[in-house]
Structure 1
Amino acid sequence: MTATVAAMDTVAPAPGRKGRASFAFARTQDRTFLARQQVGYPFHVTRPFHLEAEPAHLATLYLQSASGGIYSGDDLAIDIEAAGDTGIHITSQASTVVHDTRGAPARQVIHIDVGENSFMAFATDPLILFPGAAIEQFVTVRLGRGSAALVTDAFLSHDPGGRQRPFGLYRSVVEIMDQDGARLAIDRTRIEGADLAGAVSPHGGFSASASVFAAGFDTSGLPPEVLETALAGPGTLCGASELPNGAGIGMRILADGGVSLTRALERVFDTVFAARFGTPPSRRRK
């Protein structure tokens, strides 16, 4: 399925680094643990940890880059498999920079397979798009029966030279499937940096953006307006709605910068986590 999604409306990347990371999670009686991992450069991971204030079986894993960012022609892939009755939170310690790709877009393919009655949060920090950066990202989420997943797809633009030069391209496809591989929902995003830098930007001057998917959640337990209320405040605009075919809830967020976007994503995680487990999450150190 990963290869199918990755091939949609795209071309093979220019020669660059090939980075692969795969993880398989399982559960003992009281703990979710990392049963198998294969991590190649530029990926690096910490040891999973558990927090006593949360459901005891939930494991948190930090996914890191050891290379200083994403570069021209990079071809990256992440594969995550969660067995039944597991609880997993994958995040990052900081945002990852996408450098000027010089006409050869980077590509990242992420496949998430959530077993029955499991919870998966793939909530990494926003990508930082430098001038000239172009990246295509493809995410597939397969939901087992009774499972749920939180997936964030976020970026912000930044010119370290202070000249407001635009990034190149941000393209993202997120697909949500049921346990049999049938498509429930698909979301496509394509944004050219030059459009956002124009006098009339579709983002209205906001430099940071996120799409959030609470897949597998029923709106009776997590109404979209609850998510919108959680994010109400200065520096952000947001809207949430039910996804088709009972796939869950989708949300768009615009923010005036990285700080506002990060805080908004933290509030989304808190709200979704509480809806699943009945208790707010502990704060992760970053």
Structure 2
Amino acid sequence: MLDTSTDTRMQRSRGAAKVRLGPRGLVDLAQSGSAKAMLPRVTAGRPEIVFLNTAGGLASGDRLDYRIELTAGAQALATTQTAERAYRAEGGPARVTLHLQVGKGGWLDWLPQETILFNGAALQRDTVVELATGAGCLLLEPIVLGRIAMGEDLRRLHLIDRRIVRQAGRVIHHDALTLDDAALSRLSHPSMLGNARAMATLALIAPHAPDLLEPARAALDEPGVTGAASAPPGRLILRLLAADGWPLRRQINRLLRVLRPDPLPRIWQV
């Protein structure tokens, strides 16, 4: 007999990956479920960590947890293998947590590829960075609203995206973005996104960060991208808007060459 009940339980993905690095290389690696971490061999620049969600995207109720721990003096670049996709959700949001810990005198570049939000997506993401004394970081978060190449127009969305940076236990940077159905109806207003459907934030957290304000502003010259930069004490914050993800990526690449001495992540398609 066919089961005609309407109580259908969808399969959910769970994934967790943790990487611990010291100045001399890998200390510990743990991974489970759909989350994987790879450490490709590099010949120039900082050691690289590449995270991968083998589920192919985020759906309602999925859970993904990435963790990085750099011991004192360690440096690394961390990225994602490809763009993350948040699909239409019929239930609760997908939840992504990132815990990034940098020991004394260490440095982390967190440079993920873009997150693409499909119509009806529901995503809650929390990024928490713990910096020890003398540690610093560079944080990137690019977001694309809809499958632009397919002409997708977002009508429904639930996004909560929070980033908190603490140094020696004190909050020194807190950035949050919330988008819902009501906000989507106002996004085209000139005071909000206008015609932009791709956005990114870059945050450099270090004592020397304000010194790079003018070079960063000079690099904001990619056609089709609107950008602004500010330099509160110990930080440099850049915000970018574009109609499409490709010019946004080109602008990000230009800025990264100003903000950091090392090559771009090898996994990126540039």
Mark yes or no: TM-score above 0.5.
yes
Distance (Å, rounded) in 1 between the aligned partners of 2:267 and 2:63: 29
Once the 2 structures are TM-superposed, how far is the Cα of residue 193 of structure 1 from its aligned partner?
A: 5.6
Identity %: 22
**Structure 1 residues 163 and 20: CA distance shift in structure 2, 3 A:** closer
1:230 alignment partner, one of 195, 219, 232? 219
The answer (yes or no) to whether the contact 1:176–1:247 under 8 Å persists in 2 is: no
5 Å matches for 1:16-95? 16-28=12-24, 33-52=25-44, 54=45, 58-95=46-83
**Structure 1 residues 282 and 258: CA distance shift in structure 2, 3 A:** closer
Aligned to 2:193: 203
Distance (Å, rounded) in 2 between the aligned partners of 1:226 and 1:70: 37
Distance (Å, rounded) in 1 between the aligned partners of 2:254 and 2:15: 31
Ranges in structure 2 where 5+ consecutive residues have no aligned partner:
1-9
Distance (Å, rounded) in 1 between the aligned partners of 2:208 and 2:123: 32
**Structure 1 residues 248 and 188: CA distance shift in structure 2, 3 A:** same
User: What amino acid is aligned across from residue 251 of structure 1 in structure 2?
Assistant: L
Q: Deviations over 1:153-211 (max 9, x none)?
A: 221022475352335122211111112x1111211211236634555361011000112
Distance (Å, rounded) in 1 between the aligned partners of 2:89 and 2:167: 35
**Structure 1 residues 47 and 249: CA distance shift in structure 2, 3 A:** same
**Structure 1 residues 237 and 121: CA distance shift in structure 2, 3 A:** same
Aligned to 1:212: 202
Matched, 1:145 2:133: yes
Q: Highest CA radius of gyration, 1 or 2?
A: 2
The answer (yes or no) to whether the contact 1:34–1:48 under 8 Å persists in 2 is: no
Distance (Å, rounded) in 2 between the aligned partners of 1:190 and 1:210: 14
Give the alignment's TM-score, normalised by structure 2: 0.86
The answer (yes or no) to whether the contact 1:49–1:61 under 8 Å persists in 2 is: no
Once the 2 structures are TM-superposed, how far is the Cα of residue 259 of structure 1 from its aligned partner?
A: 0.7
Matched, 1:250 2:222: no
User: What amino acid is aligned across from residue 194 of structure 2 in structure 1?
Assistant: G
The answer (yes or no) to whether the contact 1:51–1:282 under 8 Å persists in 2 is: no
2:228 alignment partner, one of 228, 239, 243? 239
The answer (yes or no) to whether the contact 2:104–2:135 under 8 Å persists in 1 is: yes
Once the 2 structures are TM-superposed, how far is the Cα of residue 75 of structure 1 from its aligned partner?
A: 2.0
Once the 2 structures are TM-superposed, how far is the Cα of residue 283 of structure 1 from its aligned partner?
A: 5.9
Once the 2 structures are TM-superposed, how far is the Cα of residue 124 of structure 1 from its aligned partner?
A: 0.5
Once the 2 structures are TM-superposed, how far is the Cα of residue 258 of structure 1 from its aligned partner?
A: 1.2
Aligned to 1:168: 157
3-state SS in 1 of match to 2:30 = strand
The answer (yes or no) to whether the contact 1:125–1:262 under 8 Å persists in 2 is: no
Once the 2 structures are TM-superposed, how far is the Cα of residue 137 of structure 1 from its aligned partner?
A: 1.1
Give the alignment's TM-score, normalised by structure 1: 0.81
Once the 2 structures are TM-superposed, how far is the Cα of residue 122 of structure 1 from its aligned partner?
A: 0.8
**Structure 1 residues 15 and 171: CA distance shift in structure 2, 3 A:** farther
Distance (Å, rounded) in 2 between the aligned partners of 1:149 and 1:220: 14
Distance (Å, rounded) in 1 between the aligned partners of 2:195 and 2:120: 19
The answer (yes or no) to whether the contact 2:195–2:243 under 8 Å persists in 1 is: yes
Q: Deviations over 1:227-257 (max 9, x none)?
A: 22223221111111123xx342222111121
The answer (yes or no) to whether the contact 1:175–1:183 under 8 Å persists in 2 is: yes
Distance (Å, rounded) in 2 between the aligned partners of 1:240 and 1:220: 10
The answer (yes or no) to whether the contact 1:71–1:98 under 8 Å persists in 2 is: yes
Aligned to 2:6: none
Q: Deviations over 1:120-165 (max 9, x none)?
A: 0111101011110111111111222222101112210224753523
3-state SS in 2 of match to 1:221 = helix
Ranges in structure 1 where 5+ consecutive residues have no aligned partner:
1-13, 275-279
**Structure 1 residues 193 and 63: CA distance shift in structure 2, 3 A:** farther
User: What amino acid is aligned across from residue 36 of structure 2 in structure 1?
Assistant: H
3-state SS in 2 of match to 1:40 = strand
The answer (yes or no) to whether the contact 1:239–1:251 under 8 Å persists in 2 is: yes
